[in-house]
Chain A
Amino acid sequence: MESVLAAVTGILYATGLYMLLRRSVVKLIIGLGLLSNGSNLLIFTMGRLVRGRPPIVPEGESSVPLPYADPLPQALILTAIVISFGVLAFALVLIHRAYRAVGTDDLDDLKTTDT
């Protein structure tokens, strides 16, 4: 299962980077979304995948028997998802405003502030 998720993570990073390199601003945003999803999935996989073993101390024992499902990566991902959701929502409004101001979604036409 880990190898499948590792492959999926790799595909998400690769497609995300490919989208970032496109000229369209919309594809740029899609790329950012894919990239952040890729890193979320990476954190999930790095926490080791364990099924059906919640980290709860059984009665009469003092520690959780190994292996158990690590809840921390899931908490991290939850935080990261919320943050990336907010940021992407902002980015969408930003490109919409930029599109209305500039009239194009081609990044090559957005060079007036470059040096």
Chain B
Amino acid sequence: MGLVLPILIPLTTAIAALFAWRWRRWQRRLGLAGAIALLAASVTLLMQVWRQGSQALWMGNWPAPFGIALIADLLSAIMVVLAATIGVAVVLFSLAHMDPAREAFGYYPLVHILLMGVCGAFLTGDLFNLYVWFEVMLMASFVLLALGGERAQLEGAIKYVTLNLMASALFLTAVGLLYGLVGTLNMADIAQRVRATAPSGAKTAIAFLLLTAFGIKAAIFPLFFWLPASYHTPPVAVSAIFAGLLTKVGVYALLRVFTLIFTEDGHALILILSGLTMLTGVLGALAQNEFRRILSFHIISQIGYMIMGLGLLTTAGLAGSIFYIIHHIIVKTNLFLTSGLAHAVHGSFDLSRLGGLYRTHPGLAVLFLIPALSLAGLPPLSGFFAKLLLIRAGLQVGQWAIVAIALGVSLLTLLSMMKIWTEAFWKPKADDPPLVAPSPAIARPVPSGVLATHWGIVSSAGLAFLTVGIGLGAEFVLALAEAAAEQLRNPDLYISTMFRGRS
């Protein structure tokens, strides 16, 4: 039962919020209550999986290879907890910063449908079902991205929609070919049968089709162009939830498929791609001068770290990747939220128009500095341990090149975070009038007390607290990540869990 709750709760919340269409106040309350309930359910699930081992649930009591099964090993459970955490943080932030027009047009139901799609993708044990959850998630994200209908949003949405539909078509192609090859869709069953078939061109082709499809969704090296073109266009809360969760679903799918089904194909290529992803992302960020565009490019760079552990394919490497995902989801969402807080003060994301925030809002400066330094990997914050683990894993197998790139990229990350810091927080605010008359929406004067009472601060501070907590309590998180990596390295466990299942 615990397994299906992370899907049922957002669904129920979304439906209830749709019934409350005309009562915005109730939509807000329901949105928050649903997110908190989801967090409670997912933490319970994680504790269950931690104590009793992986769990599987045969939906409708159809035994394993025939019906659709939900399955939660530690990785899935961790990802669901992270999704729920981001859900709570973003809904809290939206209470303060989402405009009433978007709220009235179904913002909260959409967020919960998005969360449902994300949790479903993490929990399903069926490849075609994974496709369906991807589509649920994408559909909600399409609407969230375009909601409001500003020109930039529509332009960003066209690219986002096109590339993601293309990825879905490739994914579907791979599913079709795989079904033709092994005659099953249950991931555990596929894993068994793929292992039994001799290496062939078809098998490799399917592996690389999946790598491409998930690579587009995860925004890895040559496939990332949709991300920086779209993530900076919607309202901050939407950017934050996208930045935290969506690409990570792609990373999760890569981790799952390339540790369970294709354990021999493509890992060397993934390692090379991870290095290139890190580099292009961080170099792209250096060229930018807008708060959210810099952060968007850093998502790409960080995805490189996450798949680096998969490329190494050692237990230590995978543990590093999982730790990195935990760290990154929290930190990156928080950075987007702080960009929104800075926007609430000065009405701009453009670094040249921001400034002086350290003098006027020292609390906000601290809120930015914690995730920013964590992203760059300074001790004792979460990012330091995440990078340490990956670099140690790289050294263990003698992959010097990737270690060097990872270290260099984290210096460049620090450089680019310092750029935001000096421009937005330290430099005095430029008081001379801008050359181009700003549009009325941007130029709206913001009262300086606007941050005093808001939920946005609570949300960002909560995530900052988690970042510090992961850094100080790294031993516990590391134990969790290592146990999850052990499970990934041991696919038989996943397979036996699936076939033991219960209804």
Q: Which residue of B lies closest to A28 (CB)?
A: B162
Tell me whether B177 is interfacial, beta carbon within 8 Å.
yes
Q: For residues 21 through 68 of chain A, which have their beta carbon under 8 Å from a beta carbon of chain B?
A: 25, 28, 32, 35-36, 38-40, 42-43, 45-48
B155 to A43, Cβ gap below 8 A? no
How many angstroms from the CA of A47 to the CA of B128 in the assembled complex?
Answer: 14
Residue from the list B142, B149, B154, B166 in contact with A20, Cβ < 8 A: B166
Tell me whether A7 is interfacial, beta carbon within 8 Å.
no
B152 to A113, Cβ gap below 8 A? yes
Tell me whether A101 is interfacial, beta carbon within 8 Å.
yes
Q: Which residue of A lies closest to B151 (CB)?
A: A101
How many angstroms from the CA of A100 to the CA of B233 in the assembled complex?
Answer: 18
A36/B151 contact (C-beta < 8 A), A73-B179, A94-B157, A113-B230 known: no
Q: List, in ascending order, chain B residues with CB within 8 A of A111's CB.
A: 155
B132 to A35, Cβ gap below 8 A? no
Q: How many residues of B contact A (CB 8 A)?
A: 43
Q: List, in ascending order, chain A residues with CB within 8 A of B185's CB.
A: 72, 76
Residue from the list B168, B180, B297 in contact with A47, Cβ < 8 A: B180
Q: Which residue of B lies closest to A32 (CB)?
A: B165
Query: What's the minimum C-beta distance from B293 to chain A, rounded to whole angstroms?
Result: 6
Q: For residues 61 through 94 of chain A, which have their beta carbon under 8 Å from a beta carbon of chain B?
A: 72-73, 76, 79-80, 83, 86-87, 90-91, 94
Q: List, in ascending order, chain B residues with CB within 8 A of A114's CB.
A: 228-229
Tell me whether B309 is interfacial, beta carbon within 8 Å.
no
Q: For residues 132 through 163 of chain B, which have their beta carbon under 8 Å from a beta carbon of chain A?
A: 132, 135, 138-139, 142-143, 146, 149-152, 154-159, 161-162
Tell me whether B479 is interfacial, beta carbon within 8 Å.
no
A35/B229 contact (C-beta < 8 A), A76-B128, A94-B146 known: no
Q: Which residue of A lies closest to B287 (CB)?
A: A115
Most buried by A among B156, B176, B293: B176
Tell me whether B284 is interfacial, beta carbon within 8 Å.
yes
Tell me whether B173 is interfacial, beta carbon within 8 Å.
yes
Q: Which residue of A lies closest to B181 (CB)?
A: A46
How many angstroms from the CA of A76 to the CA of B179 in the assembled complex?
Answer: 11
A97 to B135, Cβ gap below 8 A? no
Sorted from nearest, which 7 A-B pairs have the closest CB atoms?
A46-B180, A43-B176, A98-B154, A39-B172, A35-B169, A101-B151, A42-B176
Q: Could you show 19 A-B contacts with beta carbons less than 8 Å apart?
A: A20-B162, A20-B166, A35-B166, A36-B168, A39-B169, A40-B172, A43-B172, A46-B176, A73-B176, A76-B179, A80-B172, A83-B135, A87-B142, A94-B142, A94-B158, A97-B149, A101-B154, A113-B232, A115-B228
Given contact pairs A76-B128, A87-B138, A98-B154, a sample of 11 additional A-B residue pairs in the complex whose CB atoms are under 8 Å apart: A16-B169, A28-B162, A32-B166, A43-B175, A47-B179, A47-B180, A48-B180, A83-B132, A94-B158, A102-B155, A115-B288
